A and B are shown apart, each in its own frame.
Chain A
Amino acid sequence: MFRERDLEEIRATREEWERTVLKKVMERWPERREEFRTMSGIPVKRVYTPEDIADKDYVRDISFPGWPPFTRGVQPTGYRGSLWTRRLITGFATPEETNKRLKFLIQEGQTGLNIIFDNPTTNCFDSDNPICEGEVGRDGVPIDTLRDMEVVMDGIDMRSVSTSLIIAGPFVMCCYIALAEKRGIPIRELRGTLQNDMVSLFYTVNSIAFSLPDAFRFSTDVIEFCRRNIPRWNPISFIGYQIREMGCTAAQEIAFTIASAVAYARELIRRGMDVDEFMPRFSFFFNAHNDFFEEICKYRAARRLWARIAREDFGAKDPMSWLCRFHVQTAGSSLTAQQPMNNVIRTTLQALAAVLGGTNSLHTNSMDECYALPSEAAARTALRTQQIIAYESGVTNTVDPLAGSYFVESLTDRLEEEARAILAKVDEMGGMIAALQAGWPQREIMRAAHEYHRKIKEGELNIIGVNMFEESEEEIPLEILRIDPSYEEHQIKMLREVKARRDNSAVRRSLDELKRAIERGENIMPACLEVVKSYATIEEMMSTMQDVVGRGEESKHAFVC
């Protein structure tokens, strides 16, 4: 990017600067540390200059927003056109309570829904299964049958809202589709995202209703169905967020997220789809952690790396296929129980990094999430955090304002290179599924997590209130959300009412049909839709599927290190 003559002059000036002023200052006032590193351990120099990005080509490596390789963002106008989607995660207690909270957030200016489901639903159990006792509605909304989705979305216009469903597999997606059909809305008009990345969920939150290959197959069925029937729906969102929450580095977050995308892309191609039929609707989900610049560079590096992989490795021709469009959530694991009000400031910085990194959608955590699900007051502050960044700070006035910073470009390069090296290793092992079966990503991530905690313990990384500026005997100034246990009883009562009212022979017929579809190796989605419409329960659907393919098993690779 620079002429040789300029570089020579820069080098000469730098050397002179080092010999004179820098040397003098360093002798009298040594720096605070021997070496400076990012949170992920990448060395950071004192000062960056054009020398550090001398091999960069502006057009090839940085270029324009909305133009390959998309380092500067996927929208040509950035946030000058439209702001990112403000989406707070919602879901707790019952479908009724969740519906109320969703309406409240819409009224407060939220622009998209982001619904999370409780542990029983995520694990495909009915609320009345004894194994779920005490967990119904605790960490999300329960969905036992189509009835619950009807209640969650009551009074919300499915045509105008974009909905993100934080769950994998066919059941909840089919509830959403079936509800639209019931309301007479053509399903091709639905907009939103299904998380659906079973590969990442397998080792992050250990979703093990099915074996990894079976879960992979069923989630790929959902993608295939959605691509053919719901053109504006993102049928998968590759989850870097959870991977980072396990304690990995920024480069690992990029690499393992993209590794999952590569696995799904290869499978869809193997099934006979053209790459440009599905790739335009791939979406991604990243974390925003504490190291401000490293996070900004992570988003820039991920966009560029994905664009290159989509184009060069997969031969995608539609520019939409090259776009790494992503949602960001600020890092839950960065919140501290100590001095919890400080979490508002942490979340603000993380959210700002996501915005400067060009996120398409954002969730900001509430300060009290180190203790419980957010209270309404804490959730409002989290939303206001985004609104202050969006409307007050001025950072949205120009696109990718940090481009061209010698440091930012250099760190972006470094993260792309590191992520590429990890991806090459995954490929050597036969792809992400084979690598996971061998336990390699799990062990690498756990090693990074241990390293992270060692650094905090030894003071290499600072966490205010934890290893610096601690306070003893703190009063916790927060109102904590309590989920009344009677919600669980209510949910079980509703489930029993649905079961008493429905036509059980229709349920049986639809489940038998699903079984046959699995045995025949067909896409299961049409059969799943019929199952949902018969008001069969989530567990009835899962057990039927398990009758054919069996269950999964916990991967214990991470524990052995």
Chain B
Amino acid sequence: MIEKRPIRVLLAKPGLDGHNRGINLVGKALRDAGMEVLYGGMRVTPEQVVEMALQEDVDVIGLSIFSGGLMTVVPKIFRALRESEARDIPVIVGGIVPPMDERELLDMGIARVFGPGSDLDDIVDCVQELARSRLERETA
């Protein structure tokens, strides 16, 4: 029997944008749902995100980006993940995302995209589900 620990989530803002209302709200919602939330900070590089995720042994990575840099940052994150031993950590994205970019992000391997008007409960459920299925994969 695996000892049950709270779900650990890393939230970070890669890219140069500095708007943090979204990431703060999501962080609080996840914490209120009993998860451990680690704040990775703003303007971090894709490599730093992956390094923190490994170090803190997180179950899910959440990225918040409000700038057009999203489509450049996300492939870099996946590249860094693939090059690490953390390739199976699911990644979700929040921010201003044009509809056609959303499709492309999902194709790249992003688990879910949460644009403006997303429901916080929906985000909480999604993170719980992603963490659970990852754990199941590991134990299988």
Contact = CB atoms under 8 A, between A and B. Distances in A.
Interface of A: 119-120, 122-123, 125, 131-135, 138-139, 204-208, 245-247, 333, 335-338, 370-372, 446, 449-450, 453, 457, 465-466, 476, 480, 482-483, 554, 556, 558-559, 561
A446 B39 CA distance: 16
18 contacts: A119-B67, A134-B68, A134-B71, A134-B72, A135-B67, A206-B18, A207-B18, A333-B21, A370-B117, A446-B24, A453-B25, A457-B119, A465-B117, A476-B99, A480-B100, A554-B43, A556-B39, A559-B23
B19 interface: yes
Contacts of B41: 554, 556
Interface of B: 15-21, 23-25, 27-28, 39, 41-43, 45, 67-73, 96-100, 115-117, 119-121
Contacts of B121: 457
B59 to A, nearest CB: 19
B7 to A, nearest CB: 18
A136 to B, nearest CB: 9
B115 A559 contact: no
A138 B115 contact: no
Contacts of B21: 245-247, 333, 449
B20 A131 contact: no
Contacts of A132: 16
Among all A-B residue pairs, the 9 with the closest Cβ atoms? A134-B72, A138-B68, A206-B18, A119-B16, A205-B18, A135-B69, A134-B69, A337-B116, A337-B117
Given A132-B16, A245-B21, A559-B27, A480 B73 contact: no
Contacts of B100: 480
A206 B15 CA distance: 13
A204 B17 CA distance: 11
A208 B19 CA distance: 13
B16 A135 contact: yes
A536 B2 CA distance: 60
Given A135-B68, A337-B116, A561-B28, A480 B98 contact: yes
A132 B15 CA distance: 8
A123 B43 CA distance: 10
Contacts of A449: 21, 24-25
B96 A338 contact: no
Nearest to A92: B68
A289 to B, nearest CB: 14
A449 B117 CA distance: 14
Given A247-B25, A559-B24, 12 more contacts: A119-B69, A138-B67, A207-B18, A333-B21, A370-B115, A371-B97, A371-B98, A449-B24, A450-B25, A480-B100, A559-B20, A561-B28
A139 B18 contact: no
A337 B115 contact: yes
Contact of B17 (A119, A371, A558): A119
Contacts of A465: 117
The interface centre, meaning the residue of B97, B116, B121 with most chain A CB atoms within 10 A of its CB, is: B116
B98 to A, nearest CB: 5
A138 B72 CA distance: 12
A367 B24 CA distance: 25
B24 A123 contact: no
A487 to B, nearest CB: 11
Contacts of B96: 370-372
Nearest to B15: A135
A554 B40 CA distance: 11
B74 to A, nearest CB: 10
A371 B119 CA distance: 17
Contacts of A138: 67-69
B119 to A, nearest CB: 8
A205 B19 contact: yes
A131 B45 contact: yes
Given A139-B67, A336-B117, A558 B24 contact: yes
A450 B116 CA distance: 16
Contacts of B70: 134
Contacts of B69: 119, 133-135, 138
Nearest to A121: B16
A120, A135, A139, A453, most chain B CB atoms within 10 A? A135
A135 B18 contact: no
A418 B119 CA distance: 31
A333 B43 CA distance: 22
A453 B120 contact: yes
A119 B15 contact: yes
Nearest to B119: A457
Contacts of A556: 39, 41
Contacts of A482: 98
Contact of B42 (A204, A333, A336, A554): A554
Nearest to B121: A457
A433 B17 CA distance: 23
Contacts of A450: 25, 28
Nearest to A247: B21
A538 to B, nearest CB: 13
B122 to A, nearest CB: 11
